[in-house]
């Protein structure tokens, strides 16, 4: 036993289990199983060309040494990113806690009540600070949130505006540069015309449907937008405001000025800068726009007993229902970061947030006063935290960098300085000393902050916020620690049991991969820091790009997309740019199989493509003849095919090369959705099957934790044709020579969590990665062999094998009065999260065990499913009080004095022997979904207040 081999720790099934598993499956070896699963013509001939694997100890030493190449200067750059203090109680109990970071998206609300409450706190914080009516559970970053605001306002145009094709969108010249770049990317394919200008001279013409303003402006100026918004509203122009969340504890909120949408980032609320992410963006709007809102909303509902229960609300907005009619392709949130930001608000409360905001503002005022005394003057007439000073930028920069300080240099004689929560009096003295040296003057060090303001009275916030008990009762560390733990105990995560979600790959997130995220020389860098200060990051990111190129067989990678949906969009936008570069602007048709993920058609619609849906066969494969017919029919205008491989049904289709050749012969390119890459790594790859671009879910195949629904990273890998079009950034040049504008705000997206995937690949190496894939396929086929006598398996390959996942067909059980939802809820009583419910086929369960689970855990899950199958057989349509219909069973239900059910308490709560040893109790009974949608409440106000 090689105790230092990381693969031994990552792959759950060991050598001692192998013979039993192979015998159960009915093969002699793993290689035979792979032969029967993956078509021979797409198998890789050679091992992946990667460096030999490191041990965990070697990797941690390596990453610490690499981290020393990053220079962590004091950052006053601003532009939407600020050093923040991560409260240690939140760092230890949320950020570094697998109970929080390994949870899945809260689709099964009864075992996610803790996470749901934490997100509800976040939504409440956003609603009350912005002065809006409704907020979602977070978006990806400020730039993409602003783009979502633009598309929402485009969607909710008046009937006349739609009829007259009103398509101009005003963008204030005060907008953050990276936000402008993302707006440019998103507006172009939708034929929205951006007009950038000064809001004070805007003419409010009827050609405009919307506008976006920055509050405070990119270099700190605070404007009163009340009159602008009022006049815009008169002219049926709806206004979005990108706001600094910390400033809203001091400044009048945009909602009180009449804004229709308010967006921004919550990074300042206790989240490390992380060289650009991940951070939870916020999105708040008016209640009347809730049906057009992107992302997820957490709502208050009740369970079957009438008790308060939380759940994800407004499910009909999901892309798998709207598909090509969706106005957003976002299917995720930055949940872990939203939880942290919400806990920051809980910990500090309204008085604490005001104190922090005042301290930041007073730091700026104190610096201004001291700088004035040495003849350095600032130009903003009103500001919150950012000042612009006039000085010789080159001279100041040389002195500042010698003192390990970063400012933002606007031009040759204008310097922007953004103060933040971490700024101390000694920091202010250091700043003044830098300018004093540049001016060759002496100054008298300051000893205390001046308490004054330059903000006009009408812009000082008068309204209260965060009056709910949760924000006023958890200010000691003991209180917050216990509150976090109370919520954690309500949630089932990977530290309880396997989460076998098909298409979601809930694998081990190894501690060694996670540790570097807490290291200051990785998590405390500004994304626009000078490149010579981030050599460690650039080395790591370039090496990760190379590793992903090797894995996919492609030539180039961008890490910028910060979710899988963003990766889909980025891939299609590079295809679009390729066709445009060849003068083929007419190539806009995108073929998408009917079995595709719902985000596929949504992404294609956002990329301005015309979607043609192709058929699937009764066996679940792409109907090649239908595809051929449509590819030929649309050959003059064919842009792309979007294909998931192995298929959404968990099968390696043998016709894949024929399919990709067909697209190429008709002038299109092939986009491969990388959702199922966990079945490919080391055995085949997107280049081999004939794809031109793929996105990868680093939060699936490459071990970034799901974090309760985010963070995710969705890089795209491309072939030579598409490398020139990889996206750039307006401040830090990245991407190709003919780069498209930005996909997300930071040059490398969520750079901090890329460390996880980098570590995963470094420690597994070529052999470990390949073995991980083999064991993912092994585990899936072992479970298939155990379950197929009890449940129909919907699809399998030509030799009867599954890929890394399989679909159990539960539709026939409706004859017994049992729906697939009942099975999902009953699994909670057995201590398991349900597999993927009703995707890609209604009434089914899609199971993916991953390679990380050991044989005992696989057997526990199979035993649970087999026991449930017996319960199904004992059920009937007439019996509405059976054990499945009443699931899940809570502790209060099982221990109540009254028991009126026709089965025992033991059968309800402890149906198998293993459960007693480690019982997980759902904290609410089945949630009433319809009630929650009829009575939408998405903040902490007690439900009685809305009845």
Using DSSP's 3-state secondary structure scheme, residue 856 falls into: helix
Q: Are the C-beta atoms of 618 and 649 separated by less than 8 Å?
A: no
pLDDT in tens, 809-839: 999 999 999 999 999 999 999 999 999 999 8
Listing DSSP states for 313-353 in one string gives E-GGGSHHHHGGG-S-------HHHHHHHHHHHHHHHHHHH
CA distance to 177, 363, 564, 728, per residue, from 388 (Å): 17, 14, 38, 27
Using DSSP's 3-state secondary structure scheme, residue 756 falls into: helix
Average pLDDT (282-298) is: 94
Between 31 and 320, the higher pLDDT residue:
31
Long-range contacts at 202-207 (CB < 8 A, ≥ 24 apart) = 202/170, 202/228, 204/231, 204/232, 204/234, 204/235, 204/237, 205/168, 205/235, 206/166, 206/235, 206/236, 207/166, 207/168
Neighbours of 656 (CB within 10 A): 26
Residues 6+ apart with CB under 8 A from 516: 60, 63, 64, 67, 522, 755, 759
Average pLDDT (874-885) is: 94
The pLDDT value recorded for residue 316 is 45
pLDDT in tens, 703-721: 999 999 999 999 999 999 9
Average pLDDT (760-784) is: 98
Whether the bond between 646 and the residue before it is cis, its omega within 30 degrees of 0, is yes
699/762 Cα distance (integer angstroms): 16
The pLDDT value recorded for residue 939 is 76
Q: Please determine, for residue 318, whether its predicted confidence score (pLDDT) is greater than 60.
A: no
Average pLDDT (620-625) is: 92
The pLDDT value recorded for residue 595 is 78
Residues 6+ apart with CB under 8 A from 55: 4, 5, 6, 763
In sequence order, the β-bridge partners of residue 416 are 388, 408
Burial environment of residue 447 by CB neighbours within 10 A (0 to 12, 13 to 18, 19 or more): exposed
Neighbours of 546 (CB within 10 A): 15
Q: Are the C-beta atoms of 330 and 563 separated by less than 8 Å?
A: yes
Q: Please determine, for residue 324, whether its predicted confidence score (pLDDT) is greater than 70.
A: no
pLDDT in tens, 367-407: 999 999 999 999 999 999 999 999 999 999 999 999 999 99
232/95 Cα distance (integer angstroms): 42
pTM of the shown model: 0.97
The pLDDT value recorded for residue 943 is 37
Listing DSSP states for 426-492 in one string gives HHHHHHHHHHHHHHT---PPP-S------S-GGGB--S----SGGGTS--SHHHHHHHHHHHHTTB-
Q: Please determine, for residue 886, whether its predicted confidence score (pLDDT) is greater than 60.
A: yes
Q: Please determine, for residue 560, whether its predicted confidence score (pLDDT) is greater than 70.
A: yes
The pLDDT value recorded for residue 315 is 61
Banded model confidence at residue 945, pLDDT cuts 50, 70, 90: very low
pLDDT in tens, 460-501: 999 999 999 999 999 999 999 999 999 999 999 999 999 999
Closest CA to 493 of 184, 266, 705: 705
The pLDDT value recorded for residue 930 is 79
The pLDDT value recorded for residue 931 is 81
Average pLDDT (230-240) is: 98
The pLDDT value recorded for residue 880 is 87
The pLDDT value recorded for residue 944 is 44
Banded model confidence at residue 314, pLDDT cuts 50, 70, 90: confident
Average pLDDT (18-46) is: 97
696/568 Cα distance (integer angstroms): 9
Residues 6+ apart with CB under 8 A from 931: 301, 302
Residues 6+ apart with CB under 8 A from 648: 503, 593, 595, 596, 597, 675, 676, 840
Banded model confidence at residue 754, pLDDT cuts 50, 70, 90: very high
The pLDDT value recorded for residue 620 is 81
The pLDDT value recorded for residue 947 is 38
- The tokens for 946 are 């809305």
Average pLDDT (916-939) is: 87
pLDDT in tens, 119-129: 999 999 999 99
Closest CA to 885 of 836, 819, 944: 819
Q: Are the C-beta atoms of 621 and 596 separated by less than 8 Å?
A: no
The pLDDT > 90 percentage for the chain reads 92
The pLDDT value recorded for residue 547 is 98
Q: Are the C-beta atoms of 768 and 775 separated by less than 8 Å?
A: no
The pLDDT value recorded for residue 514 is 98
């Amino acid at each position: 036993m090689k105790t230092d081999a990381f693969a031994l720790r990552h792959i759950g099934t060991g050598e001692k289990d192998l013979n039993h598993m192979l015998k159960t499956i009915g093969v002699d070896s793993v290689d035979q199983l792979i032969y029967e699963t993956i078509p021979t013509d797409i198998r890789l001939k050679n091992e992946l060309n990667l460096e030999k694997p490191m041990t965990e100890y070697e990797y941690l030493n390596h990453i610490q040494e690499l981290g020393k190449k990053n220079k962590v200067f004091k950052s006053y750059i601003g532009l939407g990113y600020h050093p923040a203090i991560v409260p240690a109680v939140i760092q230890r109990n949320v950020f570094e806690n697998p109970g929080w970071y390994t949870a899945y998206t809260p689709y099964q609300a009864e075992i996610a009540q803790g996470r749901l409450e934490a997100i509800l706190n976040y939504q409440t914080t956003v609603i009350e600070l912005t002065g809006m009516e409704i907020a979602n559970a977070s978006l990806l970053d400020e730039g993409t949130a602003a783009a979502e605001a633009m598309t929402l306002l485009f969607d909710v145009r008046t009937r006349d505006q739609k009829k007259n094709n009103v398509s101009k969108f005003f963008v204030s010249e005060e907008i953050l540069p990276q936000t402008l770049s993302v707006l440019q990317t998103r507006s172009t394919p939708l034929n929205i015309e951006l007009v950038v200008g000064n809001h004070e001279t805007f003419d409010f013409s009827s050609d405009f449907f919307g506008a976006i303003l920055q509050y405070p402006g990119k270099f700190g100026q605070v404007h009163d937008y009340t009159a602008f918004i009022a006049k815009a509203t008169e002219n049926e122009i709806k206004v979005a405001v990108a706001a600094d969340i910390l400033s809203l504890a001091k400044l009048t909120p945009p909602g009180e000025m009449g804004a229709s949408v308010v967006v921004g980032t919550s990074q300042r609320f206790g989240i490390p800068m992380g060289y650009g992410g991940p951070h939870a963006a916020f999105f708040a709007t008016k209640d009347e726009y809730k049906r057009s809102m992107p992302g997820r909303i957490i709502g208050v509902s009740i369970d079957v007993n009438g008790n308060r229960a939380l759940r994800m609300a407004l499910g009909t907005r999901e892309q798998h229902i709207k598909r090509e009619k969706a106005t957003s392709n976002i299917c995720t949130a930055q949940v872990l970061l939203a939880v942290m930001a919400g806990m920051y608000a809980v910990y500090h409360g309204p008085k604490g947030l005001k104190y922090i905001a005042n301290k930041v503002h007073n730091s700026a005022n104190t610096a201004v006063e001291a700088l004035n005394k040495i003849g350095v003057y600032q130009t903003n007439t009103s500001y919150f935290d950012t000042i612009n000073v006039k000085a010789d930028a080159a001279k100041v920069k040389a002195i500042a960098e010698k003192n390990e300080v970063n400012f933002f240099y606007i031009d040759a004689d204008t310097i922007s300085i953004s103060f933040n929560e971490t700024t101390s009096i000694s920091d202010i003295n250091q700043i003044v000393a830098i300018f004093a040296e540049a001016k060759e003057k002496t100054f008298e060090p300051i000893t205390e902050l001046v308490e004054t303001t330059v903000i006009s009275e009408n812009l000082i916030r008068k309204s209260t916020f965060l009056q709910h008990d949760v924000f006023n009762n958890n200010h000691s560390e003991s209180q917050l620690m216990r509150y976090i733990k109370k919520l954690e105990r309500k949630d089932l995560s990977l530290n309880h049991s396997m989460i076998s979600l098909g298409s979601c790959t809930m694998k081990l997130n190894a501690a060694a991969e996670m540790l570097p995220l807490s290291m200051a020389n990785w998590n405390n860098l500004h994304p626009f820091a000078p490149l010579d200060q981030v050599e460690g990051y650039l080395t790591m990111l370039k090496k990760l790009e190379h590793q992903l190129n090797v894995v996919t067989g492609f030539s180039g990678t961008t890490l910028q997309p910060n979710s899988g949906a963003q990766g889909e969009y980025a891939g299609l936008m590079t295809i679009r740019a390729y066709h445009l570069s060849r003068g083929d602007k007419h190539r806009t048709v995108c073929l998408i199989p009917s079995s595709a993920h719902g985000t596929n058609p949504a992404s294609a619609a956002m990329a301005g493509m015309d979607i043609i849906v192709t058929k699937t066969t009764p066996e679940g494969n792409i109907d090649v003849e239908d595809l051929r017919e449509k590819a030929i029919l649309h050959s003059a205008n064919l842009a792309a095919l979007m294909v998931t491989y192995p298929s959404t049904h968990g099968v390696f289709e043998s016709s894949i090369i024929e399919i990709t050749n067909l697209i190429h012969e008709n002038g299109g390119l092939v986009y491969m959705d990388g959702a199922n890459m966990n079945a490919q790594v080391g055995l085949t790859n997107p280049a081999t099957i004939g794809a031109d671009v793929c996105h990868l879910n680093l939060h699936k195949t490459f071990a970034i934790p799901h974090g309760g629904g985010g963070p995710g990273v969705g890089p795209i890998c491309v072939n030579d044709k598409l490398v020139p079009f990889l996206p750039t950034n307006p401040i830090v040049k990245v991407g190709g020579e003919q780069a498209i504008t930005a996909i997300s705000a930071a040059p490398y997206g969520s750079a901090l969590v890329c460390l996880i995937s980098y570590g995963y690949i470094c420690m597994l190496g070529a052999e470990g990665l390949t073995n991980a894939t083999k064991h993912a396929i092994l585990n899936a086929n072992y479970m298939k062999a155990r379950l197929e006598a009890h449940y129909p398996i919907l699809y399998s390959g030509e030799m009867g094998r599954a890929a890394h996942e399989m679909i159990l067909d539960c539709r026939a059980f409706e004859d017994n009065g049992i729906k697939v939802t009942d099975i999902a809820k009953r699994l909670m009583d057995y201590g398991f999260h349900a597999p993927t419910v009703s995707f890609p086929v209604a009434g089914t369960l899609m199971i993916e065990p991953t390679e990380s689970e050991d044989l005992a855990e696989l057997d526990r899950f199979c035993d649970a499913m087999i026991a449930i199958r017996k319960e199904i057989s004992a059920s009937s349509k007439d019996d509405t009080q059976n054990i499945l219909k009443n699931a899940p069973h809570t502790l209060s239900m099982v221990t109540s004095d009254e028991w009126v059910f026709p089965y025992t308490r033991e059968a309800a709560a402890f149906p198998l022997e293993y459960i007693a040893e480690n019982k997980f109790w759902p904290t609410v009974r089945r949630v009433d979904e319809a009630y929650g949608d009829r009575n939408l409440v998405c903040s902490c106000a007690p439900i009685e207040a809305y009845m």
